[in-house]
Structure 1
Amino acid sequence: MKLDRLLSIVTMLLNRNIIQAKELADRFEVSVRTIYRDIEAINQAGIPIVTFQGMNGGIGLAKGYRLDRNVLTNDELAAIITALRGMSNSYISQSNEQLVEKINSIISPARAAEFHLKSNHLIIDLTPWGSSGSLEFKLQLIKQAIEQQTRMRFNYSNANGELTFRIVEPYTLILKGRHWYLEAFCLKRGEFRLFKLLRIKDPILLEQVFTRDSMPIRENSVGEEWVSSQNSIEITLCFQKNRQHLAEEWFSIEEILIQEDRSILVRPIFPENEWLYGFILSLGPDVEVLEPLHLRQIIESRARKIANIYGSLEQT
């Protein structure tokens, strides 16, 4: 949009003394003539832009001009910068980068050092350990589908490993509990569904445009229905003594009960499915399922199968 381009040009001029018209044209993928028309429109809006001749010439704002920054305090602007940086690590967006640049542009030179300190008090990095190229590809593809309102198709693996073919109308990307989800209308199920991006395979954009309708009002927070489903059970986990740090990685201090022998009990409520079995096994030998009995038996059976696999490798 032209308005977005004009605002972005002003922001870049606020952050730099001089910028070349050709650089602006390349940045916004328009002609140099279009940039000069944009400059004229910005001048007519009351923002003084001057041109500098010579080898190092270009376009710049009149000396001393700055945007009014009285709407937000330094603390509020620093909080916005922190959130945007954290989001940009895992969700690359040119608009986020431009907003960071806009915020930096309205900080006075006298306050720049203080603002830099405040905006670096907290660093949020939401990217996973290791390579995340596949996830970044899915995020960008889904973002494109949402913006263009086009349907997508993909294969989806549920919690039980069952693979199904889906065609969806994507509405919203959600970051919840260190994982990305797509909220979309599923044509196969005839209702809105949450799809975990890690379980989406072979996503493809379709040329079928859809009309975005109002989404149903969500009574619970994202994923709350997953926890409160009918198959939820209360379990009792026992962490061995001196393993409190492991318990605190997953459970709040209020949930942790330290016993006389220094072992630790927790009694969370989880839906019983493949995720739960995998989660318990991922805690390793320092954790034991005490209740319910059937869950204990399932974990024991799976642990034996794992031991048998590695035992057979040693024998060969």
Structure 2
Amino acid sequence: MKLERLLSIIILLLNRRMVQAKDLAEQFEVSTRTIYRDIEAINGAGIPIVTYQGTNGGIGLAEGYRLDRNVLNNDELAAIVTALRSISTSYGNEQHARLMEKMSSVVPPAYAEEFQHKTNRVLIDYSPWDGIERLRSKLQLLNDAIDRCLVVKFIYSNAEGEVTDRIVEPHILIFKGKSWYVKAYCVAKEQFRLFKLHRMKALEVDAERTFTRRELPSQEQAADKSSHDTSQQMTEFVLRFHDDSRHVAEEWFGIEEMMPMEDGTWQVKKAYREDEWLYSFILSLSHHAEVVEPPHLREIIAHRAEQIAKKYRNNETT
């Protein structure tokens, strides 16, 4: 990802007098245009980088400049390595491993044991239980397309089961609610859309078709925005859980969301956009949850549960 690449470039420039843009492009598997954009970003962060022209030219730090070791203290270095290790559970590559090694190498020997302890006490594992390779290949392909500003195309199945062919300009990868998404400008819809990677298949990069990055609408830039379209009406609903199913409610909604009732049951009140995803989610709670309100949602879930039971009863008689 871009942050790891920027940090790696800074460390390389600290250790070398000069490097070639094409060598950096080959090392990080991006275009030279991307490297020059990275250099501009590093300059913008206050680290002066100079481009030397000529046969023996290249990219280097301004003469006499040195990065103050105190810019990052030991705890901050440990936090960066911990974050990189966590990201690598679903988005790892050789660059991440090299960067973690370089970050660890600048730690004073006297602090090495404590640093090792700090970087191994927390791991946020983003990888799914059923394997990561297929998802990882999509992430790497999309990340490359974003870096090189290349158009991608794929077949997409949305939450309502509609299947469409999409051609998009990918701008940013987002991890939200246990899933990876790509925020991209949809050529057909002429607006930014959020696409879930698990719903994409036949993903291809059009190496001959580039695009100019667009400015993301301000409401799309915030990382804490819901992946659902908040312009659509939200449905408030109440779920009931009996005491022997309390652990299921705690797993999905957290202890703070649970309200104890006089009859010994527990209730959870939430508001989501009402669509196929919501129906499937409630049904996935199986017999543990019962829709109390609103009546129309209770009827929909009851009808679908009856259809499921009917299929199983029919199978028993065949």
- 2: distance between equivalents of 1:5 and 1:159? 41
- 2: distance between equivalents of 1:76 and 1:200? 37
Q: Which stretch of structure 1 is more off in the superposition, 305-314 or 270-279?
A: 305-314
Deviation at 1:92, TM superposition (A): 2.1
Q: Which stretch of structure 1 is more off in the superposition, 80-89 or 97-106?
A: 97-106
Structure 2 residues without counterparts, runs of 5 or longer: 17-22, 29-54
Maintained 8 Å contact 1:146/1:172: yes
CA distance 1:148–1:124, change in 2 (3 Å): same
Maintained 8 Å contact 1:68/1:106: no
Maintained 8 Å contact 1:255/1:266: yes
- 2: distance between equivalents of 1:224 and 1:4? 32
Q: Which stretch of structure 1 is more off in the superposition, 165-174 or 97-106?
A: 97-106
Maintained 8 Å contact 2:194/2:227: no
Deviation at 1:309, TM superposition (A): 1.7
Q: Name the counterpart of 1:63.
A: none
Matching of residue 160 in structure 1 with residue 160 in structure 2: yes
Alignment of 1:160-239 (within 5 A): 160-206=160-206, 207-218=208-219, 221-224=223-226, 226=228, 228-239=230-241
- 2: distance between equivalents of 1:171 and 1:271? 25
Percentage of matched positions with identical amino acids: 45
- 1: distance between equivalents of 2:15 and 2:283? 52
Q: Name the counterpart of 1:241.
A: 243
Q: Name the counterpart of 1:303.
A: 305
Q: Name the counterpart of 1:273.
A: 275
After superposition, the C-alpha distances for 1:224-244 in whole angstroms (9 at most, x for unaligned) are 372644331110100111322
After superposition, the C-alpha distances for 1:147-196 in whole angstroms (9 at most, x for unaligned) are 11010111111110101111101100000111101001101100111111
Deviation at 1:221, TM superposition (A): 4.7
- 2: distance between equivalents of 1:183 and 1:5? 26
Q: What TM-score comes out, normalization by structure 2 length?
A: 0.77
CA distance 1:260–1:227, change in 2 (3 Å): farther
SS in 2 for 1:285: helix
Alignment of 1:44-123 (within 5 A): 69-123=69-123
Deviation at 1:96, TM superposition (A): 2.5
Maintained 8 Å contact 1:11/1:105: no
- 2: distance between equivalents of 1:200 and 1:255? 33
CA distance 1:127–1:80, change in 2 (3 Å): same
SS in 2 for 1:235: strand
CA distance 1:180–1:214, change in 2 (3 Å): same
- 1: distance between equivalents of 2:270 and 2:230? 12
Larger radius of gyration: 1
Q: Which stretch of structure 1 is more off in the superposition, 82-91 or 241-250?
A: 241-250
- 2: distance between equivalents of 1:237 and 1:278? 14
Match for 1:277: what amino acid? Y
Aligned length: 277
Match for 1:208: what amino acid? R
- 2: distance between equivalents of 1:169 and 1:186? 7
- 1: distance between equivalents of 2:312 and 2:219? 46
RMSD of the TM alignment (CA)?
3.3
Structure 1 residues without counterparts, runs of 5 or longer: 13-23, 30-36, 47-66
Q: Name the counterpart of 1:137.
A: 137
Deviation at 1:10, TM superposition (A): 7.2
- 2: distance between equivalents of 1:280 and 1:172? 30
CA distance 1:314–1:188, change in 2 (3 Å): same
Q: Which stretch of structure 1 is more off in the superposition, 245-254 or 165-174?
A: 245-254
CA distance 1:6–1:280, change in 2 (3 Å): closer
